[in-house]
């Protein structure tokens, strides 16, 4: 955790990507990504759910375990899925303990502001690092009316800043800011002693996170805030077509790929 604080103090941007399996997690870890988020975005990116809401703890833990087993330098942060922490600090602790004991995560993340400060406080006292998550909170999108920018207007911005303060004061080691106007995210970043990690929150945060499938161009559509740094989906499609053609034309397997004895 002291590396997070040192990075903020030195003004060194932090990098985070989502990861849901060992194959991609190993690549991201070796590429030097600072933090791997095993997000409940597993639901709408890997499990074909329309939102993150259906994801369960039992679905999350195998993904957390796979990422943790191959990460050699990156911090592994596990999301607590909808319905697994809101009822009480004790429920939150029980779920977080599973993420660390069964999944091997280093920290957990959950959505919500000041009303969850006691949850953060209990986990911190129990030795579990917590990442907060403010702004657009996907688990609450039904209440928010869909994927909408949060923190617009003076009152909403002040409320968001107060929530960030409450989480940090309770012991959160970082706060994710999602779909927040850049000036508001900059204000939060300036007043917090812990790092902010932005996603659709401008360049003024202490770090950035993206869903890896958006970052790598694995989907036909990406959110407005997500820059595509590659076109892996197109390359995979091309490789698959080439493989299928080789099989149908009987050019694969070639002699060098065949055991004679």
CA atoms within 13 A on the CB side of 154: 0
Strands 107-109 and 35-38 turn out to be unpaired
State the catalytic residue, choosing from 141, 155, 178, 256.
Answer: 178
Instruction: Give alpha helix (H) positions in the chain.
Output: 2-10, 22-30, 42-45, 57-70, 89-101, 117-125, 141-144, 154-170, 182-191, 212-215, 232-248
Residue 40 has a CB neighbour count (10 Å cut-off) of 31
In terms of DSSP bridges, do strands 107-109 and 130-135 run parallel, antiparallel, or are they unpaired?
Answer: parallel
Burial 218-254 (b: 16+ CB within 10 A, else e): beeebeebbebeeebeeeeeeeeeeeeeeeeeeeeee
CA distance 209 to 61: 21
Residue 208 β-bridge partners? 15, 198
Q: Residues 137, 37, 28, 236: is their CA dihedral positive or negative?
A: negative
Q: How far apart are CA 26 and CA 44, in angstroms?
A: 22
Whether 178 sits among the annotated catalytic residues: the reply is yes
Residues 222, 229 contacting (CB under 8 angstroms): no
- Residues marked as catalytic: 178
């Amino acid at each position: 955790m002291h590396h997070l604080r040192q990075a903020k103090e030195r003004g060194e941007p932090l990098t985070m990507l989502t990861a849901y399996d060992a194959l991609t997690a190993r690549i991201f870890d070796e590429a030097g990504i600072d933090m791997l988020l095993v997000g409940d975005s597993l639901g709408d990116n890997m499990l074909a759910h329309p939102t993150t809401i259906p994801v369960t703890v039992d679905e999350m833990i195998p993904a957390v375990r796979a990422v943790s087993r191959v990460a050699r330098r990156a911090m592994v942060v596990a999301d607590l899925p909808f319905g697994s922490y809101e009822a009480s600090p004790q429920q939150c602790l029980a779920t977080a303990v599973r993420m660390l004991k069964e999944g091997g995560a280093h920290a957990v993340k959950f959505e919500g502001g000041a009303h969850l400060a006691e949850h953060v406080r209990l986990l911190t006292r129990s030795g579990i690092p917590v990442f907060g998550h403010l702004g657009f909170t996907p688990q609450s999108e039904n209440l928010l009316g869909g994927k909408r920018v949060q923190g617009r207007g003076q009152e909403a911005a002040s409320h968001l800043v107060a929530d960030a303060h409450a989480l940090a004061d309770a012991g959160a080691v970082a706060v994710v800011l999602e779909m927040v106007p850049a000036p508001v995210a900059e204000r939060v970043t300036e007043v917090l002693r812990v790092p902010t990690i932005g996603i659709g929150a401008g360049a003024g945060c202490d770090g950035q996170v993206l869903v890896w499938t958006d970052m790598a161009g694995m989907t036909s559509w990406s959110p407005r805030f997500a820059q595509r740094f590659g076109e892996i989906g197109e390359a995979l499609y091309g490789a698959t077509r080439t493989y299928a053609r080789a099989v149908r034309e009987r050019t694969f397997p070639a002699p060098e790929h065949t055991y004679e004895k």
